[in-house]
Chains A and B, each alone.
Chain A
């Protein structure tokens, strides 16, 4: 469900300037309310909520010191590594389990249990076994992403009509042909949903893992902000965490998803 919000039904789409106003209005109201609250009339003290200008100044300072770039780069690097490993294994396992009954019988009960504890629940054990390091953080991301991609791939493979598989086999194709020509394209829309959700939740577990199991990254920035009462740091971190997550989703996965669903998908959007 996560990031895959329902498609806008046709006829639900106001145009041009009105659209722009409607879309930006809530953000504008939020910023004005924030600013108003922190003025002397609003009366919210600085140690509860710093003003927009204080946060902006802090962001500039952090960027000048290079703190911001370091944090963002180290977070993104770990994210990419953990995500690639988790996604690759998730797709592979999804296809193998989806095409092989014996493997499914063995793997599914294990998957059900380990999915129940996937992600941040591993943090204490990861810290003990892998230490306070990038390895723990990457492991947690991998662990989160793997199950989301695995289950969605499996679902995609299972919903490909059996007749399509059988027809390739009847025409003399091999198992590999079935995977390459039928299962992968057929499951692709579902795999992409898995990847998209995986990025969203993997990114969050990265922030969580960084707070406990690492010395750097955006998670550390916001957590030290709490520890040392540097509240503007927290707000800067919070903005960046949301923006990066949204960028990954909108600039990489949404277009990819739109393109593949158009090409190979069987269903798209909500009817109306």
Chain B
């Protein structure tokens, strides 16, 4: 709701087109980068700043290979991905559990919202120094920090998803003799699922940034560390390679894992409210 995520249920041909992008789609998406790169190259030719400060676009290719040779690049990337995945599992589990409790109980809703809003306002970075002191400079600290980021969008997604499930649906289950548990399992959770998955997607978008940051501050290995070390060697080209890699990795994850998951959930569980 708050973050611009438009998720539309695609028709069959549209889905096919999304899976097999045509040449024009690719050109349309790559085209705008051409003038940008050209501008960058012109700035390099004009010698706006020394090449070590502003490397030429083409020099990112050798920078990538030298970085890959120097540091076990694949290993570092998979370490970062593993941390995000572990954090997503924790954030999702905790967010759905607490969200389900708060979204179905009046008392919990009124009492816990304040403290949860406050904890969200503090943010993961506020906690990071304490996490380090409590848990040390290790994986656990990073995963905890990223899970903290992912938790809140999942939690709010779950609560708002539960609250927007039409009351008639739960009432009809109750009328037909179902219990509270039935309502939760058959109506509320499936009804809230699209909002939960959207929350997960938003949360992982922010979590992906948090992991890079937490790695810069905490870890000895990972994509964030790679970029941070490149900074202390004054290797602007390596920093740029790291940024491009992190952007592409996130776009790929979003496009091929989260977006299909979201579309699938909406298609299967999405509720179309037809109010009489």
Residues in chain A within 8 A of chain B (CB atoms):
1-6, 8-9, 12-14, 19, 22-27, 30, 47-48, 105-107, 109-110, 112-114, 116-125, 127-129, 148, 151-152, 154-155, 193-194, 196-197, 200-201, 203-204, 207-208, 211-212, 219, 222-223, 225-226, 229, 231, 234-235, 237-239, 241-243, 245-246, 249, 270-272
Additional A-B contact list (11), CB under 8 Å, known A5-B159, A8-B109, A204-B125: A12-B109, A13-B110, A114-B247, A121-B246, A152-B4, A194-B4, A200-B121, A207-B125, A241-B126, A246-B118, A249-B121
Across the interface, which residues of A come within 8 angstroms of B227, CB to CB? 121, 124
Query: Measured between C-beta atoms, what is the minimum distance from A119 to chain B in Å?
Result: 5
Q: What is the chain A residue whose CB lies nearest that of B35? A: A106
Asked whether B20 is an interface residue with its Cβ less than 8 Å from the other chain, the reply is no
* Tier of interface size on chain B: 35 or more
Q: Is the interface of B mostly helix, strand, loop or mixed?
A: helix
Nearest B residue (CB) for A248: B121
Interface string of B171-187 (1 = CB under 8 A from A): 00000000000000000
Residues of A within 8 A of B198 (CB): 1
Q: Which of A25, A110, A211, A245 contacts B122 (CB 8 A)?
A: A245
Choose among B53, B113, B127, B167 the residue that contacts A5 (Cβ–Cβ < 8 A).
B113
Question: Which residues on B are within 8 Å of A, measured CB to CB?
Answer: 1-4, 6, 28-33, 36, 53, 106-107, 109-115, 117-127, 129-130, 132-134, 152-153, 156-157, 159-160, 163-164, 166-167, 198-199, 202-203, 206, 209-210, 212-213, 216-217, 227-228, 230-231, 234, 236, 239-240, 242-243, 246-248, 250-251, 254
**Top 6 closest pairs, chain A to chain B, by CB:** A151-B4, A242-B122, A226-B129, A6-B160, A4-B2, A124-B231
A271 to B160: give the CA distance in the assembly, Å. 11
Q: Which of A3, A223, A237, A271 contacts B164 (CB 8 A)?
A: A271
Contact A27 B152 (CB under 8 A): no
Name the residue of chain A whose CB is nearest to the CB of B201.
A1
Asked if B217 and A211 make an inter-chain contact with CB atoms under 8 angstroms apart, the answer reads yes
In the complex the two chains form, is A129's CB within 8 Å of B53's CB?
yes
The reply to whether B236 and A125 form a contact with Cβ atoms under 8 Å apart is yes
Chain B contacts for A243, CB-based, 8 A? 121
- Across-interface contacts of A13 in B (CB, < 8 A): 110
Residue from A6, A155, A204 in contact with B6 in the complex, judged by beta carbons closer than 8 Å: A155
Minimum CB–CB distance from B26 to chain A (whole Å) comes to 10
Q: Can you list 30 A-B pairs, Cβ within 8 angstroms, ordered by A?
A: A1-B160, A1-B199, A3-B120, A5-B156, A22-B110, A23-B114, A26-B112, A106-B32, A110-B32, A117-B250, A120-B212, A121-B243, A125-B231, A128-B231, A129-B236, A151-B4, A152-B3, A197-B3, A200-B121, A207-B125, A207-B126, A208-B213, A223-B129, A231-B130, A239-B122, A241-B126, A242-B122, A245-B122, A270-B163, A271-B164
B196 to chain A, nearest CB (A): 11
Partner of B111, one of A25, A148, A203: A25
- Given known A-B contacts A109-B31, A109-B32, A123 and B216 have beta carbons under 8 A apart: yes
Residue contact A1 to B53, C-beta cutoff 8 Å = no
Name which residue of chain A comes closest to B250, CB basis. Answer: A116
Q: Which interface residue of B123, B153, B160, B202 has the most chain A CB atoms within 10 A?
A: B123
Known A226-B133, A242-B118; contact A270-B160, beta-carbon cutoff 8 A: yes
In terms of DSSP, what is the predominant structure of the interface of chain A? helix
Pair B36/A110 contact, Cβ less than 8 Å = yes
Chain A residues with CB under 8 A of B251 = 112-113, 116
Q: Which of B53, B109, B123, B132 sits near A128, CB closer than 8 Å?
A: B53
Within 8 Å CB of B129, what residues of A? 222-223, 225-226, 234
A148 to B202, CA, bound (A): 12
Contact of B126 among A107, A127, A222 (CB under 8 A): A222
- Shortest Cβ distance from B212 into A: residue: A121
Which residue of chain B has its CB nearest to the CB of A154? B4
Please indicate the chain A residues that have their CB under 8 angstroms from the CB of B106 in the complex.
12, 14
A4, A6, A26, A128: the one within 8 Å of B114 (CB): A26
What is the CB-to-nearest-CB distance from A109 to chain B, in angstroms, rounded to a whole number?
5
Which residues on the B side are within 8 Å of A19 (C-beta)?
110
Nearest CB of chain B from residue A135's CB, rounded to whole Å: 15
- B121, A1: Cβ atoms under 8 Å? no
Identify which of B133, B217, B239 contacts A125 (C-beta below 8 A): B239
CA distance A238 to B246 in the complex (A): 29
